[in-house]
Chains A and B, each alone.
Chain A
Amino acid sequence: MSAAGHALALQGLTKRYGTFTAVDDVSLKVESGQFLTLLGPSGSGKTTILMCIAGFVAPTAGAVLLDGRDITALPPEKRDFGMVFQGYALFPHMTVAENVAFPLRVRRMGTAERAEKVRAALDLVQLDRFAERRPSQLSGGQQQRVALARALVFDPALLLLDEPLSALDKKLRAELQEELKALHRRVGRTFVNVTHDQEEALSLSDRVAILNHGKLVQEGAPTALYDRPRTRFVADFLGKSNFLHAAVQQGGAEAMQLAIGATPLVQRILPGAPHPAPGTKLLLSLRPEKIALLADGETADNMVEGRIATWSYLGAGFGLSVATQDLGMLRVTLPSWGAPIAPAEGLAIRLGWSASASVPVEEDAA
């Protein structure tokens, strides 16, 4: 399993059910060997896109290209894609080994070679000891790994995963995320994964595509999406965010002066970003962990005073809701280890963040 993965491209992919548009003009590129995650809330069209790639759903418009070749009309069995279904879809009347051998058997591979490949695939997912068991005799995590082995055993051009971890509990999910990531590195294939778990998307992927109502909202590397969300939806869906409605007071080359009520704010302008005219209303996204607690006399680009309205202990940190005069309620997370204060309701504190901590985002079209 050393051959490189294949590049996949979607061009204007659209799927309508009657008058309802499940996937709306989605164009995407996945480079060879990349791990792409389709992320979006329930009903945003993730499974539909994956099914169009796999060939189970015929798109209403648009094309699916594999290495530049149009495969939109190719039936699923001719595409040579490995697929892990939601719920795994293991064949209950076959053993683990027979399940993994199935794709080889339909390709009429000889018995000896088949046995060899099945063993290698089961080794890869560390299930060699379970070859003779039935799927019903395996745990959820083991079943998931059988599904992976079965999807990888025939050296597929592309591996498609539909919420492969959603049925597992949190701890096992984290463990298998690690395994999946390691596996991706080992086999070097192109992976397309579907999830509605934002942490999974951030930790696994080279690229993340965020979908809402069938539309592609933003696509990019996890850090880029997290730090520079383009719209309010992306900022909100990928992690948590405060949203601030500010008015531009004065422009500048690298930063602009804003204000919310009587509170002045400084916002850095990213290279290439527009320079809004004074008076423009801006929506800012500000991550709770980018806000710091200011000690007496300490200063920051942006500073506000407030009182702790509610707080909760999260283990690794404290989650605070801080009531402020002009900015309303601000969500703030602080590392709990070495926190300079003991949170208490009503406690007056000062908060600060740098000019590059917040980003202007667009309001989503309704």
Chain B
Amino acid sequence: MAPAGQRQTGWWLLILPAFLLMTAFYVAPIAQVLAISFTEPQPGLGNYERLFTSESVQRVIGTTLRICTITTALALLLGYVLAYRIALAEARARRWWILVVLVPLWISVLVRAFAWVTLLRRQGLVNQALMESGLVAEPLQLVWNEFGIVVGMVHYMVPYAVLPMLASMREIDPRLLAAARGLGAPRQTVFARIFLPLSLPGLIAAGVLVFIFSLGFYITPAILGGGKTLMVAEWIGLQILDLIRWGLGTMMATVLVVTILATLAVFSRVVDLRRVFGSGA
């Protein structure tokens, strides 16, 4: 997609001012975080040793990776279906669909998390409906566990999944699909052999974006997890603010940042990262 190294350079130049600003306000504090993770409580690699020895550290990482993977998979699936629907819609219908997808982005994440709690709690609308229809006898535990977190996170992430996928689907020439049918391919084959491969860059981009976003989720898991299921962001907050274990907290923060950078580095080789940040073209 970007055959010329020259185009890459141009792109980097464009973000140079932002990059300088980031250096002053982000890199400096992050460097400090990094430093603390090696110095508190004593200098050395003690905090990082915990990655291999502490069961609670491993559990929180495991939980985070599991929730993020499930969230990413579900958000991609739902997002792909939505994006496909939107990409093939008429111009007028498409504008409405995009609005519907974007509206949640303008609602505070806090409001959305509490809305889900109201819907999913034992006396909530969902449990009431399930019991009245006779599907379940007892209210289900739908919130304050991983299920609740995943529901909230998927809801939050679907728009972020839709946008890069929609951008890459809109680039597909509709005549290619007509041509494939004209050459004898039934609809499923047209989708599997033409549409899906051509929308793959958008799918991967959306996957990277959603996964990275999910790793750092704080408010949604904190509210929908009810303090019982911890993901790294909340765990870091707990270490630093409640338990005053700066060394451990900053170690995990460093691990999180490194993971995100590594993910980006790996996928920048596979896919045009400009898509991830929504440039579309």
Contact yes or no, B184 A80, CB < 8 A: yes
**Residue from the list B178, B185, B186, B193 in contact with A89, Cβ < 8 A:** B178
**Alpha-carbon separation in the docked complex, A154 to B183 (Å):** 9
A106 at the interface (CB under 8 A from B): yes
A41 at the interface (CB under 8 A from B): no
Contact yes or no, B176 A83, CB < 8 A: no
Contacts of A91 in B (CB 8 A): 176, 179-180, 194
Q: Nearest chain B CB to A111's CB is how many angstroms away? A: 16
As a 0/1 sequence over residues 186 to 226 of chain B, the CB contacts with chain A under 8 angstroms (1 = contact) are 10010001100110000000000000000000000000000
B242 at the interface (CB under 8 A from A): no
Contact yes or no, A150 B175, CB < 8 A: no
Contact yes or no, A56 B178, CB < 8 A: yes
Contact yes or no, A83 B175, CB < 8 A: no
**Residue from the list B184, B194, B197, B198 in contact with A103, Cβ < 8 A:** B184
Q: How many residues of B contact A (CB 8 A)?
A: 17
A276 at the interface (CB under 8 A from B): no
**Alpha-carbon separation in the docked complex, A105 to B179 (Å):** 14
**Residue from the list B183, B186, B189, B193 in contact with A83, Cβ < 8 A:** B183
**Alpha-carbon separation in the docked complex, A82 to B176 (Å):** 14
- Which B residue's beta carbon lies closest to that of A93? B197
**Alpha-carbon separation in the docked complex, A151 to B184 (Å):** 11
Contacts of A353 in B (CB 8 A): none
**Residue from the list A77, A92, A93, A105 in contact with B182, Cβ < 8 A:** A77
**Alpha-carbon separation in the docked complex, A102 to B183 (Å):** 8
A81 at the interface (CB under 8 A from B): yes
A327 at the interface (CB under 8 A from B): no
Q: Which of A56, A77, A107 has most B Cβ within 10 Å?
A: A77
Contacts of B185 in A (CB 8 A): 77, 102-103, 106
- Which B residue's beta carbon lies closest to that of A106? B185
Contact yes or no, A102 B182, CB < 8 A: no
Question: How many pairs of residues, A versus B, come closer than 8 Å at their CB atoms?
Answer: 62
Contact yes or no, A106 B189, CB < 8 A: yes
Contact yes or no, A76 B182, CB < 8 A: yes
A130 at the interface (CB under 8 A from B): no
**Residue from the list B175, B180, B184, B189 in contact with A87, Cβ < 8 A:** B175
Q: Nearest chain B CB to A106's CB is how many angstroms away? A: 4
A201 at the interface (CB under 8 A from B): no
Contacts of B186 in A (CB 8 A): 77, 106
A237 at the interface (CB under 8 A from B): no
**Alpha-carbon separation in the docked complex, A289 to B175 (Å):** 42
**Residue from the list A79, A80, A85 in contact with B175, Cβ < 8 A:** A85
Contacting B at CB under 8 A, from A71-114, are 75-77, 79-83, 85-87, 89, 91-93, 102-103, 105-107
Contacts of A76 in B (CB 8 A): 178, 181-182
**Alpha-carbon separation in the docked complex, A83 to B198 (Å):** 21
**Residue from the list A77, A86, A92 in contact with B181, Cβ < 8 A:** A77
**Alpha-carbon separation in the docked complex, A85 to B183 (Å):** 11
Contacts of B193 in A (CB 8 A): 102, 105-106
**Alpha-carbon separation in the docked complex, A2 to B87 (Å):** 42
**Alpha-carbon separation in the docked complex, A40 to B179 (Å):** 23
A85 touching B184 in the complex, CB below 8 Å, given contacts A93-B197, A93-B198, A106-B189: no
- Which A residue's beta carbon lies closest to that of B197? A93
Contacts of B179 in A (CB 8 A): 83, 85, 89, 91
A54 at the interface (CB under 8 A from B): yes
Contacts of A82 in B (CB 8 A): 182-183
**Alpha-carbon separation in the docked complex, A76 to B175 (Å):** 13
As a 0/1 sequence over residues 206 to 220 of chain A, the CB contacts with chain B under 8 angstroms (1 = contact) are 000000000000000
Further 13 A-B residue pairs, CB within 8 A, beyond A89-B178, A93-B197: A75-B181, A76-B182, A77-B182, A79-B182, A81-B182, A85-B178, A85-B182, A89-B173, A89-B179, A91-B176, A103-B185, A105-B193, A106-B189
Can you sample 10 A-B contacts with CB below 8 Å? A77-B181, A79-B182, A83-B179, A89-B176, A91-B194, A102-B180, A102-B185, A103-B184, A106-B184, A150-B183
Binding site for A on B (CB under 8 A): 173, 175-176, 178-186, 189, 193-194, 197-198
Binding site for B on A (CB under 8 A): 54-56, 75-77, 79-83, 85-87, 89, 91-93, 102-103, 105-107, 150-151, 154
